[in-house]
Amino acid sequence: MTQKKTESNIVSDKFRKDALDWSLYEKAREYALDYMKTVLDRPVFPGKEAIEGLENFREDLPDSPGDPHSILEKLHRFGSPATVAQTGGRYFGFVNGGVIPAALAAKWLVDAWDQNAVLYVTSPTVSVLEDVCEGWLTDLFGLPEGTAAGFVGGSSTATLCGLAAGRDHLLKAAGWDVSSKGLFGAPEIRVVLGAGAHSTVYKALSILGLGKDRLIKVPTDEQGRIRPDELPELDSRTLLILQAGNVNSGAFDPFSEICAKAKDAGAWTHVDGAFGLWAAASHQLKYLTAGMELADSWSVDAHKTLNAPYDSGIVLCRHREALVQALHMSGSYIVYSENRDGMLYTPDMSRRARAVELWACLMALGREGVSELVEDLQRKAAYFADGLRREGFEIPNEVCFNQVLVSCRDPELTKRTLSLIQASGECWCGGAVWKEEPVIRISVCSYRTTLEDIDRSIRAFVQARKEAGQGNK
Ligand SMILES: *Cc1c(COP(=O)(O)O)cnc(C)c1O
């Protein structure tokens, strides 16, 4: 029986019509421009009214299809005001970067392409741009020629991939194929890391079956750097994890004292360089990462220091086969090609084309621009720290990179000052615990930040501390 031609589906018909409704995309652009024009002046953290506006989203799933113009309007009306103004100049929370204009514009174009970065055959453009970025990053960071790169969502995943490659590589050398035999009964490998390792490293180790409680935690110095004199004997059953940029102090592990030794011992070294690896691309700051090029794998974020849009993490691996072996899969319909197939280097299969925005960032900056951007963040962090010191705040870290820790010399006062800063809308910083004391944590991470932004933020710090002190009496 032949299928009778029927009236076509209402939804598909509607979407086919909407797809050619150029005014819809014009509207999206208008809202985006409106947002970008006001983001510099609005409160950095949304006020009460904006947050309350979010309640408008808490409704039942509509029964019938909606009008795209009204959907967009609703998103802009209630969504935009309750965002965090991190693309402005006074956002210093976490280690969140701004967004480079060429990359944002490229992202809009990429969104229209809606490519799947999985294979060459799903997008030759993305495959080539990934290939190009791989080479450029290898060069910028001074890594060994032939280093492989996988483009993932962030450093959490990048670290997972690097450590997976390391685990598999060490066990393979010990005669154990972990991908087929699993970890039960495998020869033991030791995991050595600094006491200041990022929480995502622990998460990766636990996912990989390496456990969080059987690690060798090496004591760190007063800045959170791993102490080379406290390292255990390294051997070919050791997975060593180092750090370029402590998430609080910004400090770098002493790679030159450790990496060569680890390499000679046959250990696998992974460097978590989520934001700090970019120091390697700066003329003045690359001394901080000297020696890390002898490691085996590295994780880094472009959405932090480089100011690429989210979500842009990269795993880099000296041993291409080890990375591919750890992440490989197959299926009869998967056609690997002579060209770069992105999925070989990532845990995901389908992925958005994030390397395109990374490419746009690197094109927009060039080698000199990357260097300048990184140095500028460091200089501004130092300026921030100096200004706060002059106002009587204590800065308990050496400001070697873009991180500044701040204390009011009284734990309760520090905590209250921080909440008042956060509520002020003048700037936004997070908090942390540093040497068992609460601190305010500043990350200067956006090209958008000016010295005026910093002066204004320092005034907000002073005002908040004053109010916090008064509240005490
Ligand atoms: C941000 C950060 C991570 C996690 O990166 P995501 O991109 O958020 O997954 C890991 N390590 C360090 C040192 C970081 O700063």
pLDDT digits (tens, 9 = 90+) for 131-184: 999 999 999 999 999 999 999 999 999 999 999 999 999 999 999 999 899 999
d(CA 355, CA 284): 27
Whether 443 lines ligand 1, by a CB cut-off of 6 Å, is: no
Query: Does the structure show a pLDDT above 70 at 4?
Result: no
Whether 460 lines ligand 1, by a CB cut-off of 6 Å, is: no
Whether 200 lines ligand 1, by a CB cut-off of 6 Å, is: yes
Ligand 1 centroid to residue 364 C-alpha, Å: 24
Residue at 351 is within a domain: yes
In the chain, % helix, strand, coil (3-state, to 5) comes to 50, 10, 40
Distance of CA 232 to the CA centre of its chain: 30
Residue at 173 is within a domain: yes
- Please report the pLDDT score of residue 5 as a whole number: 61
Answer whether 414's CB lies under 8 Å from 408's CB: yes
Whether 315 lines ligand 1, by a CB cut-off of 6 Å, is: no
Whether 198 lines ligand 1, by a CB cut-off of 6 Å, is: yes
Q: Rounding to the nearest 10 degrees, give the CA dihedral for residues 437, 440, 441, 443.
A: -160
Residue at 433 is within a domain: no
pLDDT band at 471 (very low <50, low <70, confident <90, very high): confident
Query: Does the structure show a pLDDT above 60 at 303?
Result: yes
- Please report the pLDDT score of residue 365 as a whole number: 98
Give this prediction's pTM. 0.96
- Please report the pLDDT score of residue 336 as a whole number: 72
Lowest mean pLDDT among 250-254, 415-419, 467-471: 467-471
Domain around 349: 105-363
- Please report the pLDDT score of residue 240 as a whole number: 98
Residue at 471 is within a domain: no
Residue at 432 is within a domain: no
Tell me how many domains the chain contains: 1
pLDDT band at 10 (very low <50, low <70, confident <90, very high): confident
CATH assignment of the domain containing 205: 3.40.640.10
d(CA 354, CA 152): 8
Query: Does the structure show a pLDDT above 80 at 335?
Result: no
DSSP output for 210-277: --SSS-EEEPB-TTS-B-GGGPPPP-TTEEEEEEBS-TTT--B--HHHHHHHHHHHT-EEEEE-TTGG
Answer whether 388's CB lies under 8 Å from 458's CB: yes
Residue at 285 is within a domain: yes
Query: Does the structure show a pLDDT above 90 at 361?
Result: yes
pLDDT band at 108 (very low <50, low <70, confident <90, very high): very high
- Please report the pLDDT score of residue 338 as a whole number: 87
d(CA 270, CA 257): 15
Lowest mean pLDDT among 26-30, 102-106, 373-377, 469-473: 469-473
Q: Which atom of ligand 1 is the closest one to the Cα of 311?
A: 7
Residue at 373 is within a domain: no
Phi, psi of 317 (to 5 degrees): -145, 130
Residue at 20 is within a domain: no
3-state secondary structure (DSSP) of residue 369: helix
- Please report the pLDDT score of residue 334 as a whole number: 67
Answer whether 282's CB lies under 8 Å from 133's CB: no
d(CA 239, CA 271): 11
